[in-house]
Each structure stands twice: as structure tokens, then as C-alpha cells.
């Protein structure tokens, strides 16, 4: 084998490995896009909405206010 044949073999091998790697990356990106789309569609169904969270926090704050009022009443006696 002469030097030119060795260089051609090495360059073709490098291009083949690079092409395989690019194809794997492309497939992974496509899968990530599908996963991201699934998350975007399921997210509003899975997590608590802001309105519901605010309603619960108002309830908790009212409970704490009642506790503080009772503690203030006990401290005064």
C-alpha cells in the first residue's frame, strides 16, 4: 500500500465515524423533542395551578392568623 491509499482509508474511516456520530446525535435530538413535547402537553395536567395554590395558601395563612391570635390572647393573661 502506498501513502495515498493509507490516507484515503484513514479519511474515509474518519468520515464514516463522524457520519455515524452525527446520525446518533440527530436521533437523540429527535427523541428529546418528542419528550419535550410530551412534557409540555402533560405539564398543565400534572401540577397545581396558580389559582389553586393561592387558595390553599390563603387558607394556611388564615389558620396561622388564628393561631397567632390565640397565642396573643394567652400571652396577655
Of 47 and 5, the structure prediction assigns the larger pLDDT to 5
Measure CA 30 to chain center: 16
Q: With a cut of 70, say whether residue 77 has pLDDT above it.
A: no
pLDDT-based confidence at 76, cuts 50/70/90?
Answer: low
pLDDT at 75: 67
The confidence score (pLDDT) of residue 71 equals 87
Tens-digit pLDDT profile for residues 1-42: 799 999 999 999 999 999 999 999 999 999 999 999 998 888
Burial class (CB in 10 A: 0-12, 13-18, 19+), 21: exposed
d(CA 29, CA 35): 10
pLDDT given for residue 10 in this prediction: 95
Amino acid at each position: 500500500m502506498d501513502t495515498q491509499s493509507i490516507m484515503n482509508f484513514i479519511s474515509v474511516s474518519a468520515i464514516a465515524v463522524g457520519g455515524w456520530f452525527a446520525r446518533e446525535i440527530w436521533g437523540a435530538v429527535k427523541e428529546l423533542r418528542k419528550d419535550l413535547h410530551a412534557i409540555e402537553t402533560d405539564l398543565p395536567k400534572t401540577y397545581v395551578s396558580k389559582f389553586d395554590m393561592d387558595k390553599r395558601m390563603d387558607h394556611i395563612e388564615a389558620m396561622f392568623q388564628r393561631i397567632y391570635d390565640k397565642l396573643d390572647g394567652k400571652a396577655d393573661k
